[in-house]
Every structure is written in C-alpha cells, then in structure tokens.
Amino acid sequence: MNRFDLLIVDAHVATMERGYGAIRDAAVGVSGDRIAWVGPRGDLGSDVEATTVLSCAGDWLLPGLIDCHTHLVYAGNRANEFERRLNGATYADIAREGGGIAATVRATRAASEDDLAQESMPRLASLASEGVTTVEIKSGYGLDTATEAKQLRVARRLGAEAGVDVRTTLLAAHALPAEYAGRADDYIDYVCRETIPAIAAQGLADAVDAFCESIAFTRAQTERVFRAARLQGLPVKVHADQLSDMDSARLAAQFGALSADHLEHTSDAGIAAMAASGTVAVVLPGAFYALRETKLPPITALRDAGVPVAISTDCNPGTSPVTSLVLMVSMACTLFRLTPEEALRGVTVNAARALGLQDRGVIAPGKRADLARFRIAEPAELAYRIGGNACRGVVRAGGVGPWDGLWKSVV
C-alpha cells in the first residue's frame, strides 16, 4: 500500500534529474514536506491512498523554480537614470555623479522597515506567481551595518509572508558609501571587522557577496571580504567580471565560492578554475539587456568546461528592474544561446547549487516537495514564450499553494 499526504495525477513531469527528465502521464506522491514517489501513473498501481489528490489536468509539473540572484529589497526606483542612459549617459558616469547605487542607498536608509517591506513585496509576489518557490535576496543598499541588517530582516519577513523560501546574502561590499569617499580600504576594514561579524552573530545571512569591479571594489579588497566571511563560516559569491576582466571568477574559485555571477568578461583561466572548484556560473540576461551590453558571457566555453550554468533575474532598480524569472529563461536562450533544456536547468537544479542547496531543484524521492505546474505542451514552451504567465499552481514544501481547477477529492 502506497500512502501519501498528497498525490498529484494527470500530469506530465519534468524531474530535471538528467536533462529534462521528462515522464509523461506521471504521478507524484508527497509525504510531509518531501517527495515520496515520482513515476509513470501506471507504475503506481491501484493500491494507493492519499489524504489529498490533485489533478494537473494534463499540465506539466516542474521543480519549484529558483531565482538565485536578486536585490529585490530596496526603496525608490531609478527610471530617470534609465532615461538618462538612453540619452547617452553611461552607468559609470551616473555612479560617479553620486547617482546609481548611491541613490538607492539614500532612499533605502531613509525608509522604515515597514515601508521597505511594502515597496518590495510586489516584486517577490510577482516571482511567486510564476512558480518560483525559492528566492535569494541580497542586501547592498544600506552600506552600514544597521541598514544592511534592516534589508536582511525585511527579506526574511517577506519570505515568511509570501510563503517563499528566502535565502539571504550580505552584499555590504556593493559600493563605497559617501561617508567613506576616497577611503575604500577603510570601508572594507569596517565591513570585515564590524558588518560581517555583526550580521553573522544575528544569523541574518546565508552567504556573503561582493561587487568586484573598477567602479566598486578591487580583487584584493574582495579577497579580504572573502576571508572575513570564511572566519564566520559563511560561503561566498561574487559579482564577477561584469564590466571588465577583474580576474574575480578565478578568485571566487580559489575560495570555493558557491557562484560567480555576470561573467561577461571572464577569461579562460577563470572558467577553468570554476570548473575545477565546482563554482556555479550565474548569467544575468536582464542586466545585459538593460545595460545594452554587447559582450556576451562565454556560454560555449562554460559549457565545454562542464561549468554548471544558472540564470536569474538580478532584480534591482539600476541594471535589471525585472520580476519575471521565466522571461529570463527566454532571454537566456535568445540572447545568450543557451538551449531551452539548459535554461530550465538554470532555474532549477543549477540554481539550487548556486545557493548551496542539495534538497531541491529536482523532482525525486527525498527532495523538498517544491513543485510548479505549467499549462504548456512541452517544457521548451517556457523558453519559447515571451512574457505571459503559464503557471497554474504551486506546492511548497508539501503545502498546496494556489492551484487551478477543482481538487479531485479528499479521501
């Protein structure tokens, strides 16, 4: 007798275990917050009982989607800068004039925790409505310990309120705050001696990140941040080689980083080092698009080296004001030439890996029961569509979220 708390039938399943891992006319059994069974419906037999049975009405079930890189907790917006960039100003010009990240820092420092939560919740809700069940949220718009902590608390709170599993990342090394103008090493001292230990002591961060770039922090400063994170037992990530080759992907690999993100200017040496360390490459089509970048991330070299590739929204007010992960799947195929299979693995199994999570990203026995239901004829359709929302239901850690159509029965 197979006994489940939840049984989902009339479904096609893409397990993402190998390739798509497609099983047509499948069923998924859930016990507690874990997947207990997945396979062809016929293999389940008739000797089965379930507290709740849900029909997918012929839709596809994928692992709950994972957005592994966002900055979605912030105040204000920067539409004015986007207009200025279209009129010829560069991102770096605007940053040098005290705009850019600094503008969002001013607004975020001034906002109360409630205001920050209220402004940011629609961004998380938009991702959740698309079948996203895990989201990484970075700080980085406070640039002082108190405001970084405020951002991270709001991130955790939003997750609890939206029923989405939020992983938090401390990104105090995002930009140089005005009060440290011309004193970047002093600021990094402060981040390493005060901010990282204080945030770690409060248990507010699951990882530490840094922006290693000519308009942000040097390779040596980034290395100091990594060492301070390691002292607190926190894994690291880096915004690497986005606007120039800072050799920061190789630095990330040297520290066994979970991921190196952006990578438009990463060298072959950086890619080889990532392949050796198992560091995941996170590519960000939204920032590439909004900055009207022309240098593509080295997808072929990453693929040939066997580096796992993940995709995310990089949701932020400056370079990627987007709250659709599925649109990023489409753009990663069209702009970066990932295959639809690679792109969907980029928001499931590889995205989980970029967050150091082994318990999700695939549909397999023992894994967290995060599932997303899509009204599509085949998995590639999620990459083929531009816009629109094909999600028809989610299950989060075994709990049924919004679900289209009738519950089949309660027995």
* DSSP E strand boundaries for 15-138: 22-31, 34-40, 48-55, 60-63, 65-67, 132-138
Mark the segment that binds ligand DI6 (CB under 6 A) among 122-130, 271-279, 317-325, 358-366: 317-325
Indicate which single residue of 64, 270, 317, 379 sits in contact with ligand DI6 (rule: CB under 6 A). 317
SS3 34: strand
Q: Judging by beta carbons within 10 Å of its beta carbon (0-12, 13-18, 19+), is residue 278 exposed, middle or buried?
A: middle
The structure tokens listed for 56 are 């997918």
Q: Which is nearer to ligand DI6, 62 or 238 (CB)?
A: 238
Mark the segment that binds Fe ion (CB under 5 A) among 9-17, 23-31, 152-160, 309-317: 309-317
Min separation Cβ 51 and ligand DI6, Å: 45
Q: Which amino acid is at 228?
A: A
Which run of H or of E encompasses 385?
Answer: none
Q: Does 297 interact with ligand DI6 (rule: CB under 6 A)? A: no
The bridge status of strand 237-240 relative to strand 259-262 is parallel
Indicate which single residue of 119, 314, 342, 370 sits in contact with Fe ion (rule: CB under 5 A). 314
> How many other C-beta atoms can be found within 10 angstroms of the C-beta atom of residue 252?
33
How many residues touch ligand DI6 under the rule CB under 6 A: the total is: 12
CA distances from 96 to 90, 103, 273 (A): 10, 11, 33
Q: Does 209 interact with Fe ion (rule: CB under 5 A)? A: no
Indicate which single residue of 9, 16, 101, 329 sits in contact with ligand DI6 (rule: CB under 6 A). 101
Distance from C-alpha of 410 to C-alpha of 7, rounded to nearest angstrom: 11
Taking CB under 6 A as the criterion, which residues in 206-265 touch ligand DI6? 211, 239, 242
Q: Does 319 interact with ligand DI6 (rule: CB under 6 A)? A: yes
Site string (42-81) toward ligand DI6, x via CB under 6 A: ----------------------------------------
Residues near Fe ion (CB under 5 A) are: 314
Residues near ligand DI6 (CB under 6 A) are: 100-101, 104, 174, 211, 239, 242, 287, 316-319
